Protein backbone atom coordinates (compact mmCIF):
# COMPACT_ATOMS: atom_id res chain seq x y z
CA UNK A 1 0.00 0.00 0.00
CA UNK A 2 1.39 3.44 -0.95
CA UNK A 3 1.95 6.15 1.69
CA UNK A 4 -0.73 8.28 0.00
CA UNK A 5 -3.35 5.51 0.20
CA UNK A 6 -2.45 4.90 3.86
CA UNK A 7 -2.80 8.60 4.68
CA UNK A 8 -6.16 8.80 2.92
CA UNK A 9 -7.40 5.75 4.81
CA UNK A 10 -6.32 7.24 8.12
CA UNK A 11 -8.01 10.57 7.37
CA UNK A 12 -11.18 8.74 6.35
CA UNK A 13 -11.16 6.74 9.59
CA UNK A 14 -10.75 9.90 11.62
CA UNK A 15 -13.65 11.59 9.82
CA UNK A 16 -15.79 8.52 10.47
CA UNK A 17 -14.93 8.58 14.16
CA UNK A 18 -15.81 12.27 14.44
CA UNK A 19 -19.15 11.69 12.66
CA UNK A 20 -19.88 8.82 15.08
CA UNK A 21 -19.14 11.01 18.08
CA UNK A 22 -21.39 13.74 16.77
CA UNK A 23 -24.17 11.23 16.11
CA UNK A 24 -23.99 10.13 19.74
CA UNK A 25 -25.75 13.32 20.74
CA UNK A 26 -23.38 14.21 23.60
CA UNK A 27 -24.33 17.67 24.81
CA UNK A 28 -22.19 19.79 27.09
CA UNK A 29 -23.80 21.74 29.90
CA UNK A 30 -26.84 19.56 30.58
CA UNK A 31 -28.86 20.48 33.68
CA UNK A 32 -28.11 19.26 37.19
CA UNK A 33 -31.63 17.98 37.83
CA UNK A 34 -31.91 14.31 38.73
CA UNK A 35 -32.66 12.14 35.73
CA UNK A 36 -31.13 14.61 33.26
CA UNK A 37 -28.56 13.26 30.84
CA UNK A 38 -25.00 13.71 32.12
CA UNK A 39 -23.19 16.76 30.83
CA UNK A 40 -20.09 16.06 28.81
CA UNK A 41 -17.01 18.18 28.27
CA UNK A 42 -13.75 17.42 26.55
CA UNK A 43 -11.62 15.43 29.02
CA UNK A 44 -8.73 17.41 30.45
CA UNK A 45 -5.19 16.17 30.85
CA UNK A 46 -4.53 15.25 34.47
CA UNK A 47 -3.14 18.35 36.15
CA UNK A 48 -0.45 18.46 38.77
CA UNK A 49 -1.16 19.90 42.21
CA UNK A 50 -1.93 23.57 42.58
CA UNK A 51 0.39 25.43 44.92
CA UNK A 52 -2.53 27.72 45.85
CA UNK A 53 -4.93 24.97 46.97
CA UNK A 54 -5.67 24.91 50.70
CA UNK A 55 -7.41 21.99 52.42
CA UNK A 56 -10.88 22.82 53.77
CA UNK A 57 -10.72 23.88 57.42
CA UNK A 58 -14.45 23.98 58.20
CA UNK A 59 -17.35 21.57 57.58
CA UNK A 60 -18.95 24.03 55.15
CA UNK A 61 -15.77 24.32 53.08
CA UNK A 62 -15.39 20.53 53.06
CA UNK A 63 -18.94 20.15 51.73
CA UNK A 64 -18.21 22.74 49.06
CA UNK A 65 -14.98 21.01 47.99
CA UNK A 66 -16.70 17.64 47.61
CA UNK A 67 -20.11 18.52 46.17
CA UNK A 68 -19.78 21.95 44.54
CA UNK A 69 -16.25 21.64 43.24
CA UNK A 70 -15.11 18.01 42.99
CA UNK A 71 -18.31 16.28 41.94
CA UNK A 72 -19.11 19.10 39.53
CA UNK A 73 -15.81 18.42 37.75
CA UNK A 74 -16.57 14.69 37.66
CA UNK A 75 -20.02 15.31 36.19
CA UNK A 76 -18.70 17.22 33.18
CA UNK A 77 -15.64 14.96 32.77
CA UNK A 78 -13.28 17.78 33.72
CA UNK A 79 -11.48 16.00 36.56
CA UNK A 80 -8.17 17.50 37.64
CA UNK A 81 -6.90 14.34 39.39
CA UNK A 82 -5.32 16.48 42.12
CA UNK A 83 -2.60 15.53 44.57
CA UNK A 84 -1.39 12.38 42.83
CA UNK A 85 2.16 13.18 41.83
CA UNK A 86 5.63 12.91 43.34
CA UNK A 87 5.42 16.30 44.99
CA UNK A 88 2.31 15.08 46.83
CA UNK A 89 3.36 11.49 47.55
CA UNK A 90 6.65 12.29 49.21
CA UNK A 91 5.30 14.48 52.08
CA UNK A 92 2.61 11.86 52.78
CA UNK A 93 5.28 9.34 53.75
CA UNK A 94 5.71 11.13 57.07
CA UNK A 95 2.19 12.43 57.76
CA UNK A 96 -1.37 12.59 56.47
CA UNK A 97 -4.05 15.17 57.17
CA UNK A 98 -7.34 14.01 55.57
CA UNK A 99 -10.11 16.57 55.95
CA UNK A 100 -13.14 14.31 55.31
CA UNK A 101 -14.27 10.72 55.74
CA UNK A 102 -16.64 8.90 53.40
CA UNK A 103 -18.66 5.93 54.70
CA UNK A 104 -19.80 4.34 51.46
CA UNK A 105 -20.90 1.21 49.64
CA UNK A 106 -18.50 -1.27 48.05
CA UNK A 107 -20.15 -0.79 44.65
CA UNK A 108 -17.46 -0.65 41.96
CA UNK A 109 -19.29 2.18 40.18
CA UNK A 110 -19.06 4.57 43.14
CA UNK A 111 -15.41 5.08 44.16
CA UNK A 112 -15.45 8.21 46.39
CA UNK A 113 -12.03 9.50 45.41
CA UNK A 114 -13.09 9.53 41.75
CA UNK A 115 -16.64 10.87 41.95
CA UNK A 116 -15.44 13.72 44.20
CA UNK A 117 -12.18 14.22 42.23
CA UNK A 118 -9.92 14.15 45.28
CA UNK A 119 -6.38 12.95 45.69
CA UNK A 120 -3.93 11.30 48.06
CA UNK A 121 -4.16 12.41 51.67
CA UNK A 122 -7.60 14.02 51.27
CA UNK A 123 -10.08 11.37 52.40
CA UNK A 124 -10.52 8.55 54.85
CA UNK A 125 -12.78 6.00 53.12
CA UNK A 126 -14.65 3.07 54.67
CA UNK A 127 -16.62 0.82 52.31
CA UNK A 128 -19.11 -1.94 53.13
CA UNK A 129 -22.11 -3.27 51.21
CA UNK A 130 -24.96 -0.85 51.77
CA UNK A 131 -22.70 1.26 54.04
CA UNK A 132 -23.62 -1.21 56.81
CA UNK A 133 -21.97 -0.36 60.12
CA UNK A 134 -20.07 -2.86 62.23
CA UNK A 135 -17.51 -2.49 64.99
CA UNK A 136 -14.67 -2.02 62.53
CA UNK A 137 -16.45 0.77 60.66
CA UNK A 138 -17.54 2.44 63.90
CA UNK A 139 -13.99 2.26 65.17
CA UNK A 140 -12.73 3.77 61.93
CA UNK A 141 -15.17 6.69 62.14
CA UNK A 142 -14.22 7.22 65.78
CA UNK A 143 -10.59 7.41 64.71
CA UNK A 144 -11.46 9.90 61.98
CA UNK A 145 -13.45 12.04 64.43
CA UNK A 146 -10.46 12.16 66.76
CA UNK A 147 -8.32 13.49 63.93
CA UNK A 148 -8.68 17.26 64.17
CA UNK A 149 -8.09 17.63 60.43
CA UNK A 150 -11.32 15.77 59.60
CA UNK A 151 -14.15 18.28 59.31
CA UNK A 152 -16.80 16.16 57.60
CA UNK A 153 -18.17 12.61 57.61
CA UNK A 154 -20.34 11.69 54.62
CA UNK A 155 -22.59 8.62 54.60
CA UNK A 156 -22.81 7.98 50.85
CA UNK A 157 -25.53 5.77 49.42
CA UNK A 158 -26.24 5.35 45.74
CA UNK A 159 -28.81 4.69 43.04
CA UNK A 160 -29.47 1.00 42.30
CA UNK A 161 -27.76 -0.29 45.44
CA UNK A 162 -27.51 -4.08 45.21
CA UNK A 163 -27.35 -4.51 48.98
CA UNK A 164 -30.63 -2.64 49.45
CA UNK A 165 -32.23 -4.65 46.65
CA UNK A 166 -31.06 -7.87 48.33
CA UNK A 167 -32.53 -6.72 51.64
CA UNK A 168 -35.87 -6.01 49.96
CA UNK A 169 -35.89 -9.42 48.29
CA UNK A 170 -35.05 -11.09 51.60
CA UNK A 171 -37.78 -9.20 53.44
CA UNK A 172 -40.32 -10.10 50.74
CA UNK A 173 -39.05 -13.71 50.61
CA UNK A 174 -39.00 -13.62 46.82
CA UNK A 175 -38.75 -17.02 45.08
CA UNK A 176 -35.30 -18.34 44.27
CA UNK A 177 -33.42 -17.05 47.31
CA UNK A 178 -30.81 -19.39 48.82
CA UNK A 179 -32.19 -21.67 51.52
CA UNK A 180 -30.73 -21.42 54.05
CA UNK A 181 -29.77 -17.81 53.43
CA UNK A 182 -26.02 -17.28 54.00
CA UNK A 183 -25.29 -16.03 57.52
CA UNK A 184 -22.91 -13.29 56.43
CA UNK A 185 -25.43 -11.92 53.96
CA UNK A 186 -28.13 -12.14 56.61
CA UNK A 187 -26.08 -9.75 58.73
CA UNK A 188 -26.15 -7.23 55.88
CA UNK A 189 -29.82 -7.61 54.97
CA UNK A 190 -30.90 -7.47 58.62
CA UNK A 191 -28.98 -4.23 59.08
CA UNK A 192 -30.81 -2.66 56.14
CA UNK A 193 -34.26 -4.20 56.78
CA UNK A 194 -35.44 -1.41 59.07
CA UNK A 195 -35.07 1.13 56.26
CA UNK A 196 -37.41 -0.74 53.90
CA UNK A 197 -40.96 0.62 53.61
CA UNK A 198 -43.98 -1.70 53.22
CA UNK A 199 -44.58 -3.50 49.94
CA UNK A 200 -46.54 -1.34 47.54
CA UNK A 201 -44.84 1.89 48.62
CA UNK A 202 -44.23 4.05 45.52
CA UNK A 203 -40.58 4.22 44.47
CA UNK A 204 -39.89 1.74 47.24
CA UNK A 205 -36.26 0.92 46.46
CA UNK A 206 -35.21 4.57 46.28
CA UNK A 207 -37.09 5.35 49.48
CA UNK A 208 -35.22 2.49 51.18
CA UNK A 209 -31.85 3.68 49.86
CA UNK A 210 -32.40 7.17 51.26
CA UNK A 211 -33.77 5.94 54.58
CA UNK A 212 -30.82 3.58 54.98
CA UNK A 213 -28.47 6.54 54.62
CA UNK A 214 -30.44 8.55 57.18
CA UNK A 215 -30.44 5.73 59.70
CA UNK A 216 -26.67 5.25 59.41
CA UNK A 217 -26.07 9.00 59.74
CA UNK A 218 -28.26 9.13 62.84
CA UNK A 219 -26.39 6.23 64.37
CA UNK A 220 -23.05 7.92 63.79
CA UNK A 221 -24.33 11.12 65.39
CA UNK A 222 -24.82 9.19 68.63
CA UNK A 223 -21.23 7.96 68.77
CA UNK A 224 -19.35 9.35 71.80
CA UNK A 225 -16.31 10.26 69.70
CA UNK A 226 -18.43 12.11 67.14
CA UNK A 227 -21.25 13.83 69.05
CA UNK A 228 -19.09 16.32 71.01
CA UNK A 229 -17.35 17.62 67.89
CA UNK A 230 -20.66 17.97 66.07
CA UNK A 231 -22.05 19.91 69.03
CA UNK A 232 -18.98 22.15 68.96
CA UNK A 233 -19.41 22.83 65.23
CA UNK A 234 -15.99 21.47 64.27
CA UNK A 235 -17.38 18.36 62.58
CA UNK A 236 -20.49 17.69 60.50
CA UNK A 237 -22.07 14.35 59.58
CA UNK A 238 -24.26 14.37 56.48
CA UNK A 239 -26.12 11.87 54.32
CA UNK A 240 -25.65 11.86 50.57
CA UNK A 241 -26.47 9.86 47.49
CA UNK A 242 -24.80 9.29 44.12
CA UNK A 243 -26.89 8.89 40.96
CA UNK A 244 -25.40 6.40 38.51
CA UNK A 245 -27.27 7.85 35.53
CA UNK A 246 -26.52 11.55 36.01
CA UNK A 247 -23.16 11.26 37.83
CA UNK A 248 -24.39 13.67 40.52
CA UNK A 249 -23.65 13.35 44.23
CA UNK A 250 -26.12 15.29 46.35
CA UNK A 251 -27.05 15.64 49.99
CA UNK A 252 -30.10 13.85 51.44
CA UNK A 253 -32.31 15.82 53.81
CA UNK A 254 -32.05 14.56 57.42
Annotated binding site: 105, 107, 158, 161
User: Helix or strand or coil: residue 109?
Assistant: coil
User: Helix or strand or coil: residue 154?
Assistant: strand
Q: Which residues are annotated as a binding site for Zn(2+)?
A: 105, 107, 158, 161
CA 228 to chain centre: 26
CB-CB contact of 244 with 160 (8 Å): yes
CB-CB contact of 55 with 97 (8 Å): yes
Q: CA 85 to CA 48: how far, in whole Å?
A: 7
CB-CB contact of 154 with 125 (8 Å): no
**First-to-last C-alpha distance (Å) of the chain:** 67
Q: Nearest Cα to 82, choosing from 67, 65, 96?
A: 65
DSSP 37: P
CB-CB contact of 131 with 156 (8 Å): yes
Q: Go through 165-181 and write b for each residue having 16 or more CB atoms within 10 A of its CB, e for each that does not.
A: ebbbebbeeeeeeeeee
CB-CB contact of 30 with 41 (8 Å): no
Amino acid sequence: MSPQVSANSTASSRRGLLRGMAAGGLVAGAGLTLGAAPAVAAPRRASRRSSTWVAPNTPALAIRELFVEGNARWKIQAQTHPREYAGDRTPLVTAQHPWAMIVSCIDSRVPPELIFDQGLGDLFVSRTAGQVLDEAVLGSTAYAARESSVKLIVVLGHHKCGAVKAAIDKKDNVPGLPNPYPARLTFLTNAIAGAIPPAGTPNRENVAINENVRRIRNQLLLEPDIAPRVAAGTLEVIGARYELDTWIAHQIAP
